[in-house]
Amino acid sequence: MKFTKILSIVLAIMMLFTFVSCGSGSTDAKDTDTETAVDTSADTAADTEGDNEATDTIVMATNAAFPPYEFYEGENIVGIDAEIAAAIAAKLGKTLVIEDMEFSSIITAVQSGSVDFGMAGMTITEDRLLEVDFSSSYANGVQVVIVKEGSAITTVDDLFAEGATYKVGVQLGTTGDSYASGDFGTDRVTQYATGNEAVLALAGGDVDCVIIDNEPAKAYVAANEGLIILESTYADEDYAICVQKGNSELLAQIDAAILELTADGTIDGIVAKYIK
Ligand code: ARG
């Protein structure tokens, strides 16, 4: 824990340094981890007291290629998760630092303690519960199927049809990936680093459909001509925040914050801002 805190502070300082020095520098967010600090402590009581708590940071791991939950607006990571996390951090009197990484690296980062929690439209699953602990759920997700307009695939059942050979694109390490690999076999599934890459592969004809969460699916379809989302859905899920196994102190704090932010309408307000 000590080490994590020190690391977080070092990261925050490095980040500030980056802001100061990156005016014309080019960044490649695709394959390097990126940190973004969101100062949520400004409006907390602790801050005016000038004690150390308010300058503490809390580090969230995410994969910021998943609109409207987490995505880049310029150099900042914004979205439903980013804002809910900032509100939780504020309740804890901490400054939120967001670390962007591959989705498939988030659980390892949480397990190793190099970050404090993971929040990435992440579904609670049996498999993940063996590796991390989950907070109470703050949102629901639905796995949907994106196809090209006029596709022979018109319902989810078509994918399961006897003799069907349709190729499925997914984001590596997601539930869409594990469900599709289980249902159709890994030969029919192609894993991409991001949902966007999977969608581009669909548009380019490399795969016949993409299985992904409904809200990002809407964003991808809106951004790419000629794609539609099937009406029949593939799976229903619950999103939650994950922490290192056994970190019951942080988990209790996060759960208490989610409860309060639900009761006072903060979470609904954030969701309504991004999902019309
Ligand atoms: N809900 C899915 C899962 O938990 C997909 C989440 C992907 N999130 C992301 N930020 N890329 O596996």
The pLDDT of residue 29 is 40
Mean pLDDT value across residues 188-197: 97
User: Quick one: pLDDT band at residue 11, thresholds 50, 70, 90?
Assistant: very low
Q: What is the average pLDDT across 85-93?
A: 97
| pLDDT for residue 30 | 41
- Give the residue with greater pLDDT, 33 vs 205: 205
Q: Do 55-138+240-274 and 141-236 come out as alike in CATH topology?
A: yes
Of 213, 233, 238, the one to substitute when testing ligand 1's pocket (max ligand atoms within 8 A of C-beta) is 213
Taking residue 242's Cβ as centre, other Cβ atoms within 10 Å add up to 26
Name the band, by pLDDT with cuts 50, 70 and 90, for residue 220: very high
Write out residues with Cβ below 6 Å of ligand 1: 62-63, 65-66, 70, 103, 120-123, 141, 171, 174-175, 213, 237
Q: What's the rounded mean pLDDT across residues 27-53?
A: 47
How much distance in Å is there from the Cα of 97 to the middle of ligand 1?
A: 20
- What size, in residues, is the chain? 276
| Shortest-distance atom of ligand 1 to CA 195 | 11
For residue 221, with 0-12 CB atoms within 10 Å meaning exposed, 13-18 middle and 19 or more buried, which class applies? middle
Residue 53 has pLDDT above 80, yes or no: no
Report the pLDDT value the prediction gives residue 21, as an integer from 0 to 100.
38
Residues forming beta bridges with residue 61, ordered by sequence position: 99, 118
End-to-end CA distance of the chain: 40
How is the chain split into domains, by residue range?
55-138+240-274, 141-236
Q: What mean pLDDT is predicted for residues 192-204?
A: 97
Q: Would you state the pLDDT for residue 41?
A: 44
Domain at 55-138+240-274, CATH homologous superfamily: Periplasmic binding protein-like II (3.40.190.10)
User: Which CATH code fits 141-236?
Assistant: 3.40.190.10
Residue 48 clears pLDDT 70, i.e. is over it: no
Whether 59 and 101 have beta carbons less than 8 Å apart is answered as: no
DSSP assignment of 53-113 equals GGG-EEEEEE-S-BTTTBEEETTEEESHHHHHHHHHHHHTT-EEEEEE--GGGHHHHHHHT
Q: How confident is the model at residue 38 (pLDDT cuts 50, 70, 90)?
A: low
Probe ligand 1: pick from 77, 174, 175, max atoms within 8 Å of CB?
Answer: 174
